[in-house]
Structure 1
């Protein structure tokens, strides 16, 4: 098999330097076995595997062996291949119990739905010879929105007045993108801040990773709405506030002493939602949006439309219109 790979690379990548020539995989079921210098064949298309992708969260690196960074040999384009991987797990948010699971074919449907819509990652899907669905994704050149925000080197007050209005306006556009999915009876499924990227050059905000799905019978789109709220909380505070974070920021103890259990997130119990207690210049109307995601809230947003209505009104207030 190595000779076949060597012949492919000589044809399509004559300058490729490697001491290893792997196998050609037409069945991607055992994705853990597919590694550097192997080739995945989908129909008549060939993809050279360069490495496994990894997720970096909370200072840890978590390899994603079912996600391969590679190169499409016929075109020379770098691409990401997401192989079929299934998992299921429960999640509790306030009074809601949610069953979450991974669905490759759901992601394939969304890729088809959003083709040409640059608010989302782009790609296509194909099946390997045994029917595993493989998504072939274009690579977005850019950075996660939360990293872009974190790297704005100003104090919070300057950030809020000089940067946040433009960020909020573009974030509203990202929420409208999620509404587009809901209007077509689809869910993103894993709305969180590392899944919203800022593209270099254009500055466009773009959603990635659509393969999670969930069952929440009380509100079919509720988990997406909670995810949008969590991102907004980060954008308002320019950080996720835990008690340790607040101590590191040297927030006055007199302020910290005012925090109570109702000021924390209903989703992540140690995260402060009531940002106005930390920064008093946060408009009350904006803070009220954040408090819909607090453990003290008795009313949650039921749709992205409701969240958008309040955010648009707050944006006008912040801009002084």
Structure 2
């Protein structure tokens, strides 16, 4: 086998165009310069870069140049490879203030912790020749949770009485997965609707992207809790509900700032204002994440307990109980 990228590529992919062949990369520090046609040599394997990945942010595509989709030439398997990248920013939720950090090594620890646990993305860590922390991740074929919800062509009442009970059970399982991290003194760090995937085929819900961490001394897991609360509001409402949408439907409904989510003030937490048939027990859980609430869940373990109590008490979950005896 040759030593240039083109010679290596033609060995494994004889039809690969010469003009698209890049270079062999063993030091991934300058990840911005690594692009399509380059071959990363990592832990003795050659990985052809096929594209830079991006992330949806506020309806826009946000390029992530440190995240590459690659083909491992020796096996033909496709992977996502995350290169070492650091950043820091500050966030605030109500009175909570925190700095957030991107930590590749923290993500590597979690990948090792959840190895074989299919509630989470799977992968391994290797070091390049400069000691950079490179994560080689298995691709999960499926949809982000919010996209899966958008594809449901039912009225909210039909959704709530037919699909939501199963989704609620799946959500409880996803929350238990985060509790597992917390019991092992790890944060997820970036809990969002697009970081919970519904895997095609298995329909299992799986968490991705663990490389953020934040410094909260009083409750180091508070931001994970608020992220879970935001996902619950999305599930109960079937989609994001704003005060403007509620008022447009019925001018007689009064919506105040206390009805809105603390983490996202534009988003309705008091779902009963939009759908009066939401049971009080479930709506009360949602209201724990509202601006009105002054007593928040102290832990994800407590949140799981509230969800389980709700599941076993409410008639809407009767059919799901038979299908999920383990809940």
| TM-score bucket of the superposed structures, by smaller chain | over 0.9
Alignment match, 1:53? 53
Structure 2 counterpart of 1:275, from 255, 271, 274: 271
Query: Once the 2 structures are TM-superposed, how far is the Cα of residue 222 of structure 1 from its aligned partner?
Result: 0.9
> How does 1:4-153 map onto structure 2 within 5 Å?
4-17=4-17, 19-153=19-153
Aligned length: 316
Say whether residues 1:303 and 2:299 are aligned partners: yes
TM-aligned CA distance change 1:151 to 1:40, over 3 Å: same
Say whether residues 1:252 and 2:267 are aligned partners: no
Structure 2 counterpart of 1:292, from 269, 288, 292: 288
User: Would the aligned equivalents of 2:6 and 2:18 in 1 still touch at CA under 8 Å?
Assistant: no
RMSD: 1.4
Equivalent residue of 2:188, what SS?
Answer: coil
User: Would the aligned equivalents of 1:112 and 1:124 in 2 still touch at CA under 8 Å?
Assistant: yes
Q: Distance in 2 between matches of 1:144 and 1:231?
A: 12
Unaligned runs of 5+ residues in structure 2 are: 322-327
Q: Distance in 2 between matches of 1:61 and 1:155?
A: 29
Q: TM-score, normalised by structure 2?
A: 0.94
Equivalent residue of 1:68, what SS?
Answer: strand
User: Would the aligned equivalents of 1:3 and 1:21 in 2 still touch at CA under 8 Å?
Assistant: no
Equivalent residue of 2:163, what SS?
Answer: helix
Q: TM-score, normalised by structure 1?
A: 0.95
Alignment match, 2:182? 182
Equivalent residue of 1:319, what SS?
Answer: helix
Q: Distance in 2 between matches of 1:243 and 1:48?
A: 48
Q: Distance in 1 between matches of 2:43 and 2:196?
A: 31
Unaligned runs of 5+ residues in structure 1 are: none
Equivalent residue of 2:7, what SS?
Answer: helix
Equivalent residue of 1:19, what SS?
Answer: helix
Alignment match, 1:261? 257
Task: Render the CA deviation track for 1:79-121: whole Å, top value 9, x for unaligned.
Answer: 0010011000111111111111100000001101111110000
Query: Once the 2 structures are TM-superposed, how far is the Cα of residue 271 of structure 1 from its aligned partner?
Result: 1.1
